[in-house]
Amino acid sequence: MTDIENLVVQMINDDKYAFNDLMTIYYPKAMRLAFLISGKYADSEDIVQEAFTSCYINRKKIKEPKYFERWLYKIISRKAWAYSKKAKREQPAPEVFEENTPDSFSLADSVIDSIENKEIFNAVMSLPIKQRTVVVLYYYNSLTTKEIAQITGSFEGTVKSRLHNARKAIKKIIESSENSYKQEVPI
């Protein structure tokens, strides 16, 4: 049994110190995942806070400690979806029909140096949230389509199809970006 698994077992047995250690270990990963899914840095802290709270309250439901991380990702994803749904409800009516414009775009501008990476990141952030979740879990968390299906509560076929469509959309963006770049460069 790994150290993490030991901590998870202790947490299941009501040990809050072990839970505190798990929070320390997973906080950075959780924050980054919450941000990449929600696209909003401000929401990420709330999502992580709610996810950790839910994690401890539902600790007795953990059947296999070795899958704790996957279980945590599932909670974070669901919380991020809930925040996204809530944000849509709170938008004034005309904005609901506009493109997704999370604050990740401005953040991307400040932290991503390469124009191409910015384009790709904006393309990922423009995907519907469930498709974006699949992309993030696959490319950032390096999970398999089967594992993602379990986390998102969908069929593996749906995960594959979402990945395929996302790739297609991103490819189009990259190609169009390259074409416009070529046109701008005098021969």
Neighbour-count burial of 74, counting CB atoms closer than 10 A to its CB (0-12 exposed, 13-18 middle, 19+ buried)? middle
Sole binder of another protein in the list 101, 171, 179, 181 (CB under 8 A): 171
Q: Does 17 bind another protein (CB under 8 A)?
A: no
Is 111 strand, coil or helix? Answer: helix
Question: Nearer to another protein by C-beta: 52 or 71?
Answer: 52
- Between 1 and 167, CB nearer to another protein: 167
Q: Please give the structure tokens belonging to residue 4.
A: 């993490």
CA distances to 12, 75, 176 from 7, rounded to whole Å, are: 9, 18, 49
Q: Is 162 exposed, middle or buried (0-12, 13-18, 19+ CB in 10 A)?
A: buried
- For helices 104-111 and 115-126, the axis angle rounded to 10 degrees is 160
Which of 20/158 has CB closer to another protein? 20
Mapped onto helix, strand or coil, the DSSP state of residue 151 is helix
Alpha carbon distance 151, 137 (integer Å): 9
- The answer to whether residue 71 forms part of the interface with another protein (CB under 8 A) is no
Nearer to another protein, 62 or 174 (CB): 174
Residue range at the interface with another protein (CB under 8 A); choices 66-74, 92-100, 149-157, 169-177: 169-177
Does 62 participate in binding another protein (rule CB under 8 A)?
A: no
Residue 120 interacts with another protein (CB under 8 A)? yes
Give the interface with another protein as residue ranges (CB under 8 A). 16, 20, 23-24, 27-28, 31-32, 35-36, 41, 45, 48-49, 52-53, 56-57, 86, 89-90, 108, 111-112, 116-117, 120-121, 124, 135-136, 139-140, 167, 170-171, 174-175
